[in-house]
Chain A
Amino acid sequence: MNADDRPTVRPGGALRRIAALIRKETYQLLRDPSSVAIGIVMPLLLLVLFGYGLNLDVKNVPVALVMEDTSSDARGAASGFELSEYFDTVTVKTMAEAERLLLAKTVNAIVRIPSDFARRVELGSAEIQVIVHGTDANTARISLGYAQGAVGTWLAREAARGRLLAPASISIENRLWFNEANESTYFLVPGLIVLVMTLIGALLTALVVAREWERGTFEALFVTPVRSVEVLLGKTVPYFVLGMIGLALSVIGSLLLFGVPLRGSVLVLTGVSILYLLVALGIGLVISSAMKSQFLASQICMVVTFLPAMMLSGFMFDLRSMPWVIQLVTYVFPARYFVSLLQTLFLAGNVWSVILPNAAVLAAMATLLMGLAVRLTRKRIG
């Protein structure tokens, strides 16, 4: 029997039935404090974590300064490091002592100014040795860049005093468009929103629907004159609202607390967020109808939604540098499209050449998943 051609269904009753289902689902949602927690506490918690905790800027790197030369040139070069806000220097006498500090990870790098430094500066071929602890390769690489800057500062100071030492051959001026101040919170906000929406949309919905399957209350609903589409609508609307509340909190929080600019239009932002939320809800519904077990649904949701949103969305790691097989994998997950949209809308503005294709993919995914969800729920009662 098909749920859609029941003769007893009165036309016009659909709205009333959906409204009743929404009311029931809303009561259930509000009664459990944990759902409210995920809608309100989670965005706020993530705001704080991303804003204050996940700091990719490298500052105050502890460095051991080995002064084998005590000439004024050596001290001048050392002051380049001491005065830099990127380094916290400890001066040690011998290389052996510095190596011990590096091994114990008391310092992350060694800067060694060799004993013939001053003599070789005059000859125009001095060297400063920098050794970094390579286990945290990213920090190490950034520190090496700053070391170059610290030496440059000293050379510039000497030049200002009229002593011309051959400067670096090429001067690089780095500019960062869309984020001139290089605030890492700016680029973390998209990640924040994507995680909040994914958790509420996919994970919470999957669990709630899987519970109904587990307990058999879903089947019970189908013997009532409610259609399967109506059941799904009634199920998803409250979680949709919860997701939008989470979005609003994250956006307002990042604008107010961190002064993140919103250069695109709020309307477009809302639109694409709705699309992504629909995709997430669709994933949640499909997984739960396929698994019918809360435990399996939650494990699978974590694997296909949460982790990809974190690792394969381009919010942390550069997508283009991944091997092509992994790049293909990223196209399957909706998070990459949403992150690209969010990054552009927040920092660049309404760039339609980015917005339209990404939004189109999300819309297609939403339609596909919702259709699949309806099919899956219908099939089970047949």
Chain B
Amino acid sequence: MIETLFRILALMRKELLVILKDPRGRITLFVPPILQCLIFGYAATYDLSNVPYALVDHDRSAASRALAARLDGSGIFSRIATPEQTELAAAYLDNRRAVVIVVISRDFERNLNAGQPAPVQVIADGRNSNTAGIAQGYVGTVAATFGQEWRASHGLPGEAVRLTTRAWYNPSLETRWNMIPSLIGTITMLMTMMLTAMSVAREREEGTFDQLLVAPFRPTEIMIGKAVPSMMVGIVQSTLIFLVALFWFRIPFAGSYAVLYLGLVLFLAAAIGIGLFLSSIAANMQQAMILTFVLLMPFMLLSGLMSPAENMPMALQYFTMINPLHYAISITREVYLEGAGLDQLLPDMLALVAIAAVTLPFAAWLFRNRLV
């Protein structure tokens, strides 16, 4: 028993030396996560802060000018041109200088004062239909507020039915709040899965894995010796990203550190299990990397990071059940933003345990039973 422990420790020491002795390797492991979190934290948001638009004002009335002034003063929309006709505005959309064209119809003010819906057309660049839809939503909100205030200030009756809206847990509906906690899992998984997948493949390619197999190591010991150092690297990486989220982006942490780290350890065990499994079926580093990527892509795209998992067809939702990142993102989001406790997260954590419990022993078995 003690000897097993010594052997594992020796292997871990060697593994950590391999990873960390090269200064370039040290930099590659710990600087990119911080930079990525900073860059993607700012980049990965669906919130728009700068929407250039072209205004076509057919009405030329006090009301239409007031609406345009409202858009210009919103801090989000910046008017780049005020052409006479929609046809002339089209060029701005074509060459992507404008994201939307706002067309105010001729009878805008008359309808507004008559208590009739005053028509406004919002044409958006559908080449990125997501951004376009959000920009249209913003115009809609600005116009609705303007219309209500115009009616109120001109002694007209208000709308018969009004929606009052509130968002829980994220009152200003910032997507950044949602994205950054998710980056903890995403960035760490990318780096640790690659690290683990490459580690066995590298030894196989260099022939040192055979030496390891004939040495008095049990496959389980090799597995633990390979998995734990990767996990240590992963924990350091996720802590760095967590610190950036907390102190740079100042997103308040609502949960318990113990629950967060329990979730991260289980997640890393699952991710590393998959990495080791891929690594043990690959004959060389190239195969290991390609296999990792073929799996990483669906893991990332179907994780709920960029689009909610509920929108996917059933077949792909089954796939998300074996996707450790899917669980990690829901755990980090819920612990971070909602302060969820262990009881709420138990199903997600158990799923991660199950993934690790299948992949890690299987990888250990493959070490010896794969014929190269």
Interface set of A (CB-CB < 8 Å, partner B): 32, 34-35, 37-38, 41-42, 45-46, 49-50, 52-60, 77, 102, 121, 124-142, 144-145, 147-148, 151, 154-155, 165-180, 182-184, 186-187, 195, 199, 203-204, 207-208, 211, 291, 293-296, 298-300, 302-303, 306-307, 310-312, 314-318, 320-323, 325-326, 329-330, 340, 343-344, 347-348, 351, 353-354
Chain B residues with CB under 8 Å of A180's CB are: 126
Q: A134-B170, A170-B144, A311-B43 are in contact. List 16 more A-B contacts (CB 8 A).
A: A35-B290, A57-B311, A124-B160, A126-B160, A130-B166, A132-B166, A133-B168, A135-B337, A154-B161, A167-B160, A173-B119, A204-B290, A298-B194, A299-B195, A325-B42, A351-B94
Given A49-B298, A172-B120, A174-B124, A322 and B169 contact (CB-CB distance below 8 Å): no
Given A38-B293, A344-B127, A170 and B47 contact (CB-CB distance below 8 Å): no
- Classify the secondary structure of B's interface with A: helix
Q: A203, B289: Cβ atoms under 8 Å? A: yes
Q: A178, B297: Cβ atoms under 8 Å? A: no
B338 at the interface (CB under 8 A from A): yes
A171–B118 Cα distance when bound, in Å, is 6
Closest to A190 in B: B127
Q: A167, B28: Cβ atoms under 8 Å? A: no
Q: Choose among B198, B310, B313 the residue that contacts A295 (Cβ–Cβ < 8 A).
A: B198
Q: B95, A351: Cβ atoms under 8 Å? A: yes
Q: A52, B161: Cβ atoms under 8 Å? A: no
B146 at the interface (CB under 8 A from A): yes
Q: A295, B125: Cβ atoms under 8 Å? A: no
Given A55-B312, A298-B289, A354-B96, A42 and B123 contact (CB-CB distance below 8 Å): no
Closest to A180 in B: B126
Most buried by B among A137, A165, A186: A137
Chain A residues with CB under 8 Å of B94's CB are: 348, 351, 353-354
**CB-based closest 10 A-B pairs:** A169-B147, A134-B170, A179-B126, A165-B160, A171-B117, A134-B167, A176-B126, A343-B127, A170-B147, A353-B95
B72: shortest Cβ distance to chain A, in Å? Answer: 17
Given A38-B294, A182-B133, A311-B44, A294 and B50 contact (CB-CB distance below 8 Å): no
B211 at the interface (CB under 8 A from A): no
Q: Choose among A77, A170, A207, A293 the residue that contacts B112 (Cβ–Cβ < 8 A).
A: A170
Q: A321, B48: Cβ atoms under 8 Å? A: yes
Q: A176, B129: Cβ atoms under 8 Å? A: yes
Q: B118, A169: Cβ atoms under 8 Å? A: yes
A60: shortest Cβ distance to chain B, in Å? Answer: 8
Q: A171, B119: Cβ atoms under 8 Å? A: yes
Chain B residues with CB under 8 Å of A137's CB are: 46-47, 167, 170, 173-175, 177-178
Q: A56, B307: Cβ atoms under 8 Å? A: yes
A208–B170 Cα distance when bound, in Å, is 46
Interface size on B, residues (CB 8 A): 111
Q: B96, A58: Cβ atoms under 8 Å? A: no
Residues in B130-189 with C-beta less than 8 Å from chain A: 130-134, 136-137, 139-140, 143-144, 146-148, 150-151, 157-171, 173-175, 177-178
B239 at the interface (CB under 8 A from A): no
Q: Choose among A57, A102, A128, A300 the residue that contacts B28 (Cβ–Cβ < 8 A).
A: A300
B243 at the interface (CB under 8 A from A): no
B36 at the interface (CB under 8 A from A): yes
B369 at the interface (CB under 8 A from A): no
What are 7 A-B residue pairs whose CB atoms fall within 8 Å in the complex? A37-B294, A56-B306, A132-B167, A173-B120, A317-B43, A320-B51, A326-B43
Q: B39, A32: Cβ atoms under 8 Å? A: no
Closest to B67 in A: A170
Q: A129, B36: Cβ atoms under 8 Å? A: no
B264 at the interface (CB under 8 A from A): no
Q: Choose among A46, A132, A298, A303 the residue that contacts B198 (Cβ–Cβ < 8 A).
A: A298
A69: shortest Cβ distance to chain B, in Å? Answer: 12
Most buried by B among A77, A176, A295: A295
Closest to A62 in B: B310
A306–B40 Cα distance when bound, in Å, is 13
A142–B131 Cα distance when bound, in Å, is 12
A53–B323 Cα distance when bound, in Å, is 14
Chain A residues with CB under 8 Å of B93's CB are: 177
A58–B150 Cα distance when bound, in Å, is 32
A53–B134 Cα distance when bound, in Å, is 21
A168–B141 Cα distance when bound, in Å, is 12
Q: B122, A329: Cβ atoms under 8 Å? A: no
Q: B173, A126: Cβ atoms under 8 Å? A: no
A262: shortest Cβ distance to chain B, in Å? Answer: 13
A59–B313 Cα distance when bound, in Å, is 12
Q: B285, A126: Cβ atoms under 8 Å? A: no
Q: Choose among B119, B159, B286, B310 the residue that contacts A211 (Cβ–Cβ < 8 A).
A: B286
Chain B residues with CB under 8 Å of A204's CB are: 286, 290
Chain A residues with CB under 8 Å of B130's CB are: 56, 184, 187, 316
B222: shortest Cβ distance to chain A, in Å? Answer: 19
Closest to A132 in B: B167
B242: shortest Cβ distance to chain A, in Å? Answer: 17
